[in-house]
Amino acid sequence: MKCRGLGLILIASLVASAAAGRYVPTQYPQTAAVLQVLFGDAVRKEHTFLAYAAGAEEEGSAPMVALFAALARSQSVLAENARLLLADFDTEVETPLGNGVSVGETRHNLEITANIALAKLDDRYRVFLDMIRAERNAEAMAEVQAVWDVKKRQREIVQKGLSATGLLGWTAKLPQGYCVCPVCGYIVAEGDAGARCPYCNTEGIENEVVGSEWKVFWGLDQNTALDDAQRAAAKRFYRLVASQDVGLAPAPGSTLLGSDAYQMWGLGSSGGFSDEEKAYIAAVPLLARAWEVYQAIDLGELSENEKQYIARIHTKYGQGPVDLMKLREGGDLSGEAAQVLDVVEALSGSLYLSDRDLVFLQRFDLE
């Protein structure tokens, strides 16, 4: 399976950011508050659906694993879109996972989702739109509407799953897989996925089949060695890894599983790793080294070469954060630097490069 999720999300959001510019946060207090609510809700629900997927796997219900994995992936797209839009309001996201998830039998989990988590969507999102309408930020209003529509689709998927777990338990009638649009989060049954997303018209949705990637994110959520920032960076880094054919990753050896890097960034020692988990684990040494280099950068102690590089970039692209699209199109990056740029995007999670990011481009060696 090939996943192009990170690239598509970044491209789509980058175009929007470049067009909209950055907003003065004091002019949009209600809008920023609503976007924070949307972000926090998406993060928590992603975590919940990952837990439900793990529960469904213990029950041996592959269709339900696929359903909850698709819901989790959809929520991750909504969270990323809200986070990127909040950055345009110069607003730091708040990312607490909250308390642990209470996981019951799959039918109970579906009932909780349908009757509580996804209940009263229309009332809730009308209130959100009413709250931000007076501030007239068209991009934010469009995002709230998109989240509302995607969640309606999530509710449809859940209700179909609930119907299939009735007295006869005909879960075999459910789709065996789902495709999730990496730009808007819309869910389509794998067999029904066409060339374009039926909601946002993004190309290639039929290639976005949700596999066992949920195990990577569930493992990272369970990793208590990571703080919120590290966990978020690891998830973005997996999206980068998943742009390649994850089926080519080798089974991890004892040396890697016993390394300090894996103890920090790993997925536990249960064994029997999926292809997606193997792909992430194989990239853990690169992630650990990149994070260490990134965190060690001190802008007060730069070499003359680094200072000159930063000055040259700012002379060409202006002061302040550098638009990634302009840098990619400006011809200032070698092939290797472009690869490092992918890594720094995953680490920073930003659509703009700070001076720290520019130094990372200079310092980090992929080899």
Q: Are 171 and 100 in a shared domain?
A: yes
Cβ-Cβ contacts under 8 Å for 207 (sequence gap 6 or more): 2, 4, 179
Residue with tokens 């790793």: 273
One domain, residues 229 and 352? no
Note whether 208 and 180 are within 8 A (CB): yes
Domain boundary among 184, 207, 230: 207
How many Å apart are CA 56 and CA 36, to the nearest integer?
30
Same domain, 41 and 155: yes
* Residue 175 identity: P
Looking at residue 200, which CATH number applies to its domain? 1.20.1260.10
pLDDT of residue 365: 82
Distance of CA 93 to the CA centre of its chain: 14
Separation between Cα atoms, residue 185 and residue 215, nearest integer Å: 19
Per-10-residue mean pLDDT of the chain, 367 residues long, equals 38 38 82 94 94 95 95 97 89 68 90 90 95 95 97 95 72 85 96 94 94 95 92 93 76 93 92 90 95 96 94 89 78 74 89 91 82
Dist. CA 132–CA 92, nearest whole Å: 19
Question: What is the distance, to the nearest Å, from the Cα of residue 150 to the centroid of all Cα atoms in its chain?
Answer: 16
Question: How far, CA to CA in Å, does 274 sit from each of 161, 212, 216?
Answer: 25, 7, 9
Query: Cβ(261)–Cβ(288) under 8 Å?
Result: yes
The whole-number pLDDT of residue 320 equals 86
Residues 16 and 161 occupy one common structural domain: yes
Is there a single domain that holds both residue 153 and residue 20? yes
Q: What is the pTM of this model?
A: 0.88
| Calpha distance 346→337 (Å, rounded) | 14
105 and 226: one domain? no
Last residue of some domain: 207, 236, 264? 207
pLDDT at 3: 40
Residue 179, pLDDT score: 97
Q: Give how far Cα 348 sits from Cα of 87, 235, 291, 293, Å.
A: 12, 12, 10, 13
Beta strand ranges found along the chain (DSSP E): 178-180, 187-189, 322-323, 352-353
Are 309 and 278 found together in one domain? no
Confidence at residue 169, expressed as pLDDT on a 0 to 100 scale: 57
Please give the full DSSP string across 101-117, using - where no structure is assigned.
P----HHHHHHHIIIII
Residue whose C-alpha is closest to residue 359's, from 301, 286, 278:
301
366: CB partners within 8 A, 6+ apart = 286, 336, 339, 340, 343
pLDDT of amino acid 8: 38
DSSP state for residue 196 in the 8-state scheme: B
Task: Name the DSSP class of 226.
Answer: S
User: What pLDDT does residue 234 have?
Assistant: 96
Q: Are residues 292 and 241 in the same domain?
A: yes
19/96 same-domain check: yes
Q: Are residues 254 and 108 in the same domain?
A: no
Tell me which of 296, 315, 337 is where a domain ends. Answer: 296
State whether 75 and 155 are in the same domain: yes
- Where in the sequence is the domain holding 251, given as residue range(s)? 213-296
In a shared domain, residues 269 and 219: yes
What's the domain count of the chain? 3
pLDDT at 249: 82
Using CA atoms, how far apart are residues 93 and 87, in angstroms rounded to an integer?
Answer: 8
